[in-house]
Structure 1
Amino acid sequence: MAGHSKWSNIKHRKGAQDKKRGKLFMKLAREIYMAAKQGGGDPDTNPPLRQAVDKARSNNMPNENVDRAIKKATGDLEGVNYEEFTYEGYGPGGVAVMVKVLTDNKNRTAADVRHAFNKNDGNLGENGCVAFMFNRKGYMAIDRTETEADEEDMMLEVIEAGAEEMETTDSHFEIYTEPETFTEVKKSLEEQGYDFTTSEVTMIPETYTPLEEEGVEKMLKLIDMLEDNEDVQEVYHNLDADEAVLEKLS
């Protein structure tokens, strides 16, 4: 999995932008709703719900919003019925893109996603056209300026916690797990006093598609347009962009 830092550069950028969006709490609530609907309303016995709740709280979502989303899913409150879908396609320059949505109107969402691809030099493909390029993994990032641990000590603690792999960038320790062990590894590291700038189960590309500045700008516009859609929960892609280009375009 060498080279994930290409992905994480954009991931950290995305996280900073998401926090500015007024729609973030709505998206987090839908994620909680779906996890509770599929596995029950108790985070202690439903790991995906636990992950969704932790993600919401890390983004300062009020507890009453979390509780309301769970109650809607379990039938304690009246709510809209959402369905989960994943769309796949290609962005500018052939960048692989997966779009995870939760929607109460599949036709509306499909049209909106297709429009975003078409408007930004991409095209929506068939199911499975890019999914094979991604692996589902647990991912955690620890800001190196927020810990006194050096790389060697951090590696030993990560291995002991049960993680699969760790990479070190200039700014972060990046930890990867199997999805099934994500919660356990995260809890172990939290008990040792570590905080995370990002922690989630996500899709990480096996290979990357490099683009020059013009293509990167178009791809970022596609990502932003998709993420601005309230039905879109996550956008996964395999863009390889130079960090200086990302800084310039940000």
Structure 2
Amino acid sequence: MGRIFEKRKHKMFARFDRMAKAFTRVGKDIAIAVKQGGPIPENNPKLRMAIQNAKGLNMPKEKVENAIKRASSKEEKDFQEVVYEGYAPHGVPILVECATDNPTRTVANVRLHFSKGHGSMGNSGSVAFLFERKGVFKFDPSKINVDDIELDLIDAGAEDIERGDEEIIIYTKFTEFGHMQKFLESKNLDAKSSELQYIPNMTKELSEAETDEVLKLVEMLEGDDDVQTVYHNLA
């Protein structure tokens, strides 16, 4: 009985950790958007996207409003968006998106994570060519009827549409992201999340043990406060 309780407690804390990390991530997205385009969502597409993502995470409205206020103040730190590249064990390429107020600290920490995870950090451009930057819009299937607007979605830049029972995902080219965002807003279609992501051109199959080695490094990187997202090409 005690072991079952400990397992449940561990899962609960892990869920809280993931939620806290997600809130921190979107909070930085809001801060960057406000610094770049101002605090008024109607005039700032990047901020509208960050706010929509916060809603998708069920982030309380007051937390979103406080994040915008903090970012509007002169005391708030300026976050820089930086991408680091490298290889995990077994030659798996890794891209690490960061938002940091101290790049010197961040690059040292990321390098240390690669080293501890038996990977190697690379130079800029060493693995980025293995990925393509795309817009990714995720929807609850109950909130969108793709059949009714599929042609309109294609006109708005949809490159691929994945239909699942739990989620519908619309992919666009990097250059069509803004076009799709405007189209969805014009139709009052609220995505669970809308992001620019690095999608691998090819995926890699590994054994279970090898996959675990790679995911340990990914977990270390994701646990860093300055890291926003980690991309890899594991199948």
TM-score (norm 2): 0.79
| Seq. identity, % | 42
Q: For residue 228 of structure 2, what is the aligned residue in structure 1? A: 233
- Residue 143 (structure 2) pairs with residue 128 (structure 1): no
Q: Using a 3 Å threshold, how does the CA distance of structure 1 residues 114 and 93 change in structure 2: closer, same or farther?
A: same
| Ranges in structure 1 where 5+ consecutive residues have no aligned partner | 1-15, 241-250
**What is the CA-CA distance between 1:33 and the residue it aligns to?**
0.6
Q: Using a 3 Å threshold, how does the CA distance of structure 1 residues 87 and 39 change in structure 2: closer, same or farther?
A: same
1:96 aligned residue (93, 97, 100): 93
1:186 aligned residue (180, 184, 189): 184
**What is the CA-CA distance between 1:23 and the residue it aligns to?**
2.9
Work out the CA distance in 2 between the residues paired with 1:202 and 1:148.
22
8 Å CA contact 2:136–2:194 kept in 1: the answer is yes
| Ranges in structure 2 where 5+ consecutive residues have no aligned partner | 1-13
Bigger CA radius of gyration: 2
Letter in structure 1 aligned against 2:126:
C
Classify the secondary structure of the residue corresponding to 1:96: strand
Work out the CA distance in 2 between the residues paired with 1:160 and 1:202.
21
Q: For residue 159 of structure 1, what is the aligned residue in structure 2? A: 154
Report the number of matched residues.
Answer: 219
**What is the CA-CA distance between 1:157 and the residue it aligns to?**
5.6
Q: For residue 141 of structure 1, what is the aligned residue in structure 2? A: 138
Deviation track 1:47-88 (CA, whole Å, cap 9, x = no partner) reads 1121111111211222333233323333x3522232221111
Q: For residue 243 of structure 1, what is the aligned residue in structure 2? A: none
**What is the CA-CA distance between 1:183 and the residue it aligns to?**
1.2
Q: Using a 3 Å threshold, how does the CA distance of structure 1 residues 211 and 170 change in structure 2: closer, same or farther?
A: farther
**What is the CA-CA distance between 1:190 and the residue it aligns to?**
4.2
TM-score (norm 1): 0.75
Letter in structure 1 aligned against 2:102:
N
> Could you say what the CA RMSD is over the residues aligned between the two structures, in angstroms?
2.8
Work out the CA distance in 1 between the residues paired with 2:61 and 2:74.
16
Q: For residue 13 of structure 1, what is the aligned residue in structure 2? A: none
8 Å CA contact 1:28–1:56 kept in 2: the answer is yes
8 Å CA contact 1:141–1:175 kept in 2: the answer is yes
Letter in structure 1 aligned against 2:68:
I
Q: For residue 112 of structure 2, what is the aligned residue in structure 1? A: 115
**What is the CA-CA distance between 1:239 and the residue it aligns to?**
1.4
Work out the CA distance in 1 between the residues paired with 2:50 and 2:107.
24
- Residue 213 (structure 2) pairs with residue 215 (structure 1): no
Segment drifting more, 214-223 vs 61-70: 61-70
Letter in structure 2 aligned against 1:24:
A
Work out the CA distance in 2 between the residues paired with 1:80 and 1:73.
8
Q: For residue 55 of structure 2, what is the aligned residue in structure 1? A: 57
Letter in structure 1 aligned against 2:178:
E
